[in-house]
Structure 1
Amino acid sequence: MSKDKSDVGQIHWRDLTVGNAEEIKDFYTSVVGWEASKHDMGTYHDFDIKTPAGDTVTGICHARGDNASLPPQWLMYVKVESVKESADNCIEHGGQILDGPRYMGEMFFCVIKDPAGAVLAIFE
């Protein structure tokens, strides 16, 4: 794990995982003006979402495979020092673990729900 703690606590990514990613991608490209490009997932494609200037700002993903249990909402990913420690603290303070801790590619992450019902992904 990196010793650089300067970005701990910062939002690094956000995405949306839904059953109908193709339709929802079309919704946001029409409503917000984003552009979408296919992101190869092997047997299907998720979508990299870009601004009109070409900056990738988010993703819209299919709720398939390991991601089938992710909630259908905009999910922010916040960097923490230790996913395991943060997940344990989540439970200790009345929250729930919705997914993980697990690896997605090289990222170790977990999806938590706070006592008010809000959902957040944490990663290291």
Structure 2
Amino acid sequence: MGDRTRRVALAGEWEIGTVTNPGTKPVGKVVGFDLTVADADGVRDFYAAVVGWKPEGLDMGGYNDYFMMGAGGTFEAGVCHARGGNADLPPQWLAHVVVDDLDASLAKVVELGGSVVAGPKGEGNDRYCVIKDPAGAVISLRAAGAPEE
């Protein structure tokens, strides 16, 4: 599985191996959860034991991040190392919400007293960022994107 596969699975739009064209993401929908921490291997084992998720490794070039799979092999969450492009993400469960226009949403975040924590990252139809609201809570905003041809 490549990085694109991980992002598509993260978006909750397909079960691994069943759909190759995810299409447009639904605006306003929570489409996934990720946890980015220094010790992803230890946290992987923690959630496998506590929740019963089965980890599937994703080769990130020298280390693995993890799809955490639930009953029946459904994708439930991601557990990632705080390395590379993820090094600046906060170490907490992060919900991902789809927005229609990422740039317009980022402008609104700043206008309304929030801030950008990380990003925008990615490219094309797969852009995202992490924001902090005026109360200090963080969330990931993901571009809706167009259907892939």
TM-score, normalisation: structure 1 = 0.91
Which runs of structure 1 show a deviation greater than 4 angstroms over 4 or more consecutive aligned residues?
none
Name the aligned partner's letter for residue 10 of structure 1: K
Identity over aligned residues, as a percent?
A: 44
Change (3 A) 1:115 1:27: same
Question: CA offset at residue 115 of structure 1?
Answer: 0.7
TM-score, normalisation: structure 2 = 0.76
Query: Which residue of the partner structure matches residue 141 of structure 2?
Result: 122
Query: Which residue of the partner structure matches residue 106 of structure 2?
Result: 87
Question: CA offset at residue 100 of structure 1?
Answer: 0.9
Query: Which residue of the partner structure matches residue 15 of structure 1?
Result: 34
Residue 97, structure 1, aligned to residue 102, structure 2 = no
Name the aligned partner's letter for residue 108 of structure 2: N
Change (3 A) 1:47 1:105: farther
CA–CA distance in structure 1, aligned partners of residues 69 and 111 of structure 2: 38
Question: CA offset at residue 61 of structure 1?
Answer: 0.2
Between structures 1 and 2, the one with greater strand share: 1
Name the aligned partner's letter for residue 56 of structure 1: F
Over the residues paired in the alignment, what is the CA RMSD in angstroms? 1.8
CA–CA distance in structure 2, aligned partners of residues 40 and 76 of structure 1: 23
Aligned residues: 121
Q: Which runs of 5+ in 2 are unaligned?
A: 1-22, 144-149
Q: Which runs of 5+ in 1 are unaligned?
A: none
SS at match of 2:71: coil
Between structures 1 and 2, the one with greater helix share: 2
Question: CA offset at residue 104 of structure 1?
Answer: 6.4
